[in-house]
Structure 1
C-alpha cells in the first residue's frame, strides 16, 4: 500500500512542471504580474497562441522597458502555463481519501447533531442512527433530507458519495 502511494506521488511529481526550480519561469510570472498586468489587467495566457505572443512581445518590450532576457522569461512562462496539464491517474484507498471527522466539520453536522456526546441538539444524535434506522435510510436522508419529512430543517448538502460512505462507515463503527 505504501509502495503504491510512493509510486503515485513520484509520478505526480515527475509529470508536473517544476516551477519552483526554474528561475526563468518564476521570473516570467513575476514580470507579467509586475509589468504586463498594470495595463492589461489579468488577461488569460491562452488569449493568444504562443506564436502570436512571440510576435506581440517584442513590440511590447519597448513600451514596458523590458530587456531581451525578460521577454524570453515571459514567453517561456507563457509556454509552460498554456500547455495542457498531463493527466495522472491516482487511485487511493477510501480510508486515505476521506476522513469522516473532516466531513462532519466541513458540513457542520455537529451544529445540529451530536456525535459521541459532542454537538447540537436540534437534530437527533447520530451515534445510533444507522443501527436504529438502517444504512439505506441514513444515506437517503443525507442526500434528500426532506424525503420522509417535508418540514425537516436539515439542509441538503453537496456531500460526495465517497464522503457519505466514509461518514456512514464511521457512524456504523461507533
Structure 2
C-alpha cells in the first residue's frame, strides 16, 4: 500500500505541467520563504533527501496553493542547496575587479537576505552584518554557513576568495 502511494505521488509530481512563462523566473528560495517558512520556520534543506522531498512536495503543494512550476522551482533550489559545493578554480587577471552586486545575483543571496531594503526575509539583512558581527564572522559564515548554527538553512556556496572580499568590502560600505 505504501509503495503504491509513493508511486502515485511520484507520477503526480512528474506529470505536473510546466506553467512558468519564459519571462517569469521563479526563485525556489523566495518561494520557500514566502510559503513553506511561514509554518515550518527556517529548516535545513538537508532535513530530508531529495527523493523524500519529491514525495513530500506534491502533498504540500495543495496546502500551500503552489503551482506545478513553483513546486519544481522549490525542488530545484533544494537540489542545488543540498548538493555538495563544487569548487571551481578561476584565474582572474589582477586588472579585473569583482562587482559585488554581480556576486549577490550569482549566488542568489537576496533570495533569502535583504540588501538595502531589497530581497528576501528568510535570513537576516546584510546591511549591518559586518558592523554588528565583524568581518571575520561574515567571512567564516559564508564559507561555513552552519559553523554557529547547525540548523541554518544557508547553503554552502562555491564563492571565490576575491568574490567574498568584494562582497565584504561592499557590505562594509553601506
Kept after mapping to 2: 8 A contact 1:19/1:25: no
Tell me by how many angstroms 1:108 deviates: 0.0
Q: Distance in 2 between matches of 1:173 and 1:115?
A: 12
Q: Rg larger in 1 or in 2?
A: 1
Kept after mapping to 2: 8 A contact 1:111/1:119: yes
Q: Distance in 2 between matches of 1:88 and 1:18?
A: 31
Tell me by how many angstroms 1:11 deviates: 57
Unaligned runs of 5+ in 1: none
Tell me by how many angstroms 1:96 deviates: 3.6
Tell me by how many angstroms 1:97 deviates: 2.1
Q: CA 1:8/1:130 → structure 2, altered by over 3 Å: closer, same or farther?
A: farther
Q: Distance in 2 between matches of 1:167 and 1:26?
A: 24
Which structure has the highest helix share of the two? Answer: 1
Kept after mapping to 1: 8 A contact 2:43/2:153: no
Q: Which 4+ stretches in 1 moved above 4 angstroms?
A: 1-95
Unaligned runs of 5+ in 2: none
Kept after mapping to 2: 8 A contact 1:19/1:26: no
Kept after mapping to 1: 8 A contact 2:146/2:154: yes
Q: CA 1:98/1:123 → structure 2, altered by over 3 Å: closer, same or farther?
A: same
Kept after mapping to 1: 8 A contact 2:20/2:69: no
Scaled by the length of structure 1, what TM-score is found? 0.47
Taking only aligned residues, the RMSD between alpha carbons, in angstroms, comes to 18.1
**Per chain length, whose mean CA-contact separation is higher, i.e. which structure has more relative contact order (CA < 8 Å, sep 6+)?**
2
